[in-house]
């Protein structure tokens, strides 16, 4: 496993990218993680794959840069980052893309906007959250209130073990060692202990609600063959949105929403079969 930094353009940010099997032959697979996760969360899956695998820490996550003072996190900025990372990793040829949860929505928008850049697409619990346009005015009000008051992390955690235990409480599929590895990469020292490395502004409410109709337009533009995967124990919605895709296969794996933690071997097999068909 290696790490590198990719600059996303003259007015962009430095993004951390983790790579596995980077000297292996084959089309690279770009992994887009979910909200408040990080690239290393995909270690158990990536180690089981034979092709080059690259996972990016989204802006404000993991070891990637935060937006500056006065900035916020808007969804199309993430998509622009994916565009830049794809160009850096595979400038002359399409690559394969895997997105989980929030990363799946990013993957859909990118693959719809740049269909020629994506050879094959895997969406893991990644066909978008519930439509929440009905909350539009309330979201806008909360966004304005939070910008005025500021958004901050909670009290510091005592040490790395405490941070790892917080991760395990949220996801019991993590082994103690895996939780420590993730915590060591996702925390920073502050007065009084450790704090999460992701930007506290992610705790804020985004002003623009998720609009299902907006996503469906991009789903119809995707030309790559798609594998859509959901966890059997997950309550994440909208698997039926796969009907808007031109070429899609669906799989259900015995897992919750965090399929990459609950069933890494089964997920790796499904990904390998889709991107490297016989």
pLDDT value of residue 204:
83
Q: In the chain, how many domains are there?
A: 1
Buried b (16+ CB within 10 A) or exposed e, 97-111: bbbbbbbbbbbbbbb
Residue-wise pLDDT for 97-121, tens only, equals 999 999 999 999 999 999 999 999 9
* Residue 207, pLDDT score: 79
Give a yes or no: residue 185 inside a domain.
Answer: no
Looking at the DSSP bridge assignments, the partners of residue 30 are: 54, 97
In a domain, 52, yes or no: yes
> What is the pLDDT averaged over residues 44-70?
95
Distance CA 173, CA 151 (A): 30
Task: Output phi, psi for 196, to 5 deg.
Answer: -60, 140
Neighbours of 193 (CB within 10 A): 15
In a domain, 211, yes or no: yes
Neighbour-count burial of 129, counting CB atoms closer than 10 A to its CB (0-12 exposed, 13-18 middle, 19+ buried): middle
User: What's the chain's Rg over C-alpha atoms?
Assistant: 18
In a domain, 40, yes or no: yes
Quote the CA–CA distance of 244 and 181 in Å, as a whole number. 39
User: Is 224 strand, coil or helix?
Assistant: coil
pLDDT at 104: 97
Residue 139 belongs to some domain of the structure: no
Alpha-carbon gap, residue 158 to 237, rounded angstroms: 36
Residue 132 pLDDT exceeds 90: no
> Alpha-carbon distance 164 to 159, whole Å?
9
Domain that holds residue 93: 2-134+204-275
| Region of residue 101 (phi > 0: left; psi between -120 and 50: alpha; otherwise: beta) | left
Closest CA to 152 of 195, 188, 186: 195
How, if at all, do strands 29-32 and 14-20 pair? unpaired
Least confident span in 95-109, 146-160, 180-194, 249-263: 146-160
Q: What are phi and psi of 40, to 5 degrees?
A: -65, -20
* Coil vs helix vs strand at 49: coil
Q: Which two tokens stand for residue 163?
A: 């941070």
Q: Could you tell me if residue 100 is inside a domain? A: yes
What's the rounded mean pLDDT across residues 248-267?
A: 96
Report how far residue 175's alpha carbon sits from residue 41's, in angstroms, rounded to the nearest whole number: 12
Digit-coded pLDDT (tens) for 159-180:
999 999 999 999 988 999 999 9
Q: How far apart are CA 194 and CA 186, in angstroms?
A: 10
How much is the pTM? 0.95
Residue 110 within any structural domain of the chain? yes
pLDDT at 238 over 80: no
* Residues in the chain, total: 278
Report the distance separating Cα 22 and Cα 7, nearest Å.
Answer: 19
Which range (88-92, 141-145, 203-207) has the least confidence? 203-207
Q: Looking at residue 18, which CATH number applies to its domain?
A: 3.40.50.1820
What span, in angstroms and rounded, lies between the C-alpha atoms of 29 and 96? 5
Say which residues have a Cβ less than 8 Å from residue 256's Cβ, sequence separation at least 6. Answer: 173, 231, 233, 234, 262
Q: For residue 194, tell me if it sits in a domain.
A: no
């Amino acid at each position: 496993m290696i790490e590198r930094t990719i600059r996303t353009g003259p007015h962009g940010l430095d993004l951390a990218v983790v790579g596995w099997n980077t000297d292996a032959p084959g089309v690279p697979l770009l992994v887009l993680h979910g909200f408040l996760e990080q690239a290393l969360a995909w270690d158990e899956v990536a180690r089981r794959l034979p092709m080059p695998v690259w996972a990016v820490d989204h802006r404000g996550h993991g070891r990637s840069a935060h937006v500056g003072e006065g900035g916020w996190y808007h969804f199309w900025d993430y998509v622009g980052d994916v565009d830049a990372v794809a160009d850096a990793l595979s400038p002359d040829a399409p690559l394969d893309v895997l997105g989980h949860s929030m990363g799946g929505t990013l993957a859909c928008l990118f693959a719809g906007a740049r269909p020629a850049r994506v050879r094959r697409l895997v969406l893991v619990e990644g066909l978008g959250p519930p439509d929440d346009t009905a909350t539009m005015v309330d979201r806008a009000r909360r966004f304005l209130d939070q910008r005025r008051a500021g958004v901050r992390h909670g009290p510091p955690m005592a040490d790395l073990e405490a941070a790892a235990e917080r991760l395990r409480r949220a996801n019991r599929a993590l082994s103690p060692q895996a939780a420590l590895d993730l915590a060591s990469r996702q925390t920073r020292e502050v007065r009084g202990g450790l704090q999460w490395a992701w930007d506290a502004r992610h705790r804020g409410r985004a002003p623009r609600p998720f609009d299902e109709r907006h996503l469906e337009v991009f789903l119809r533009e995707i030309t790559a063959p798609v594998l859509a995967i959901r966890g059997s124990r997950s309550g994440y919605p909208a698997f039926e949105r796969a009907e808007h895709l031109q070429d899609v296969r669906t799989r259900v794996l015995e897992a919750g929403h965090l399929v990459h933690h609950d069933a890494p071997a089964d997920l790796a097999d499904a990904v390998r079969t889709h991107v490297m068909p016989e």
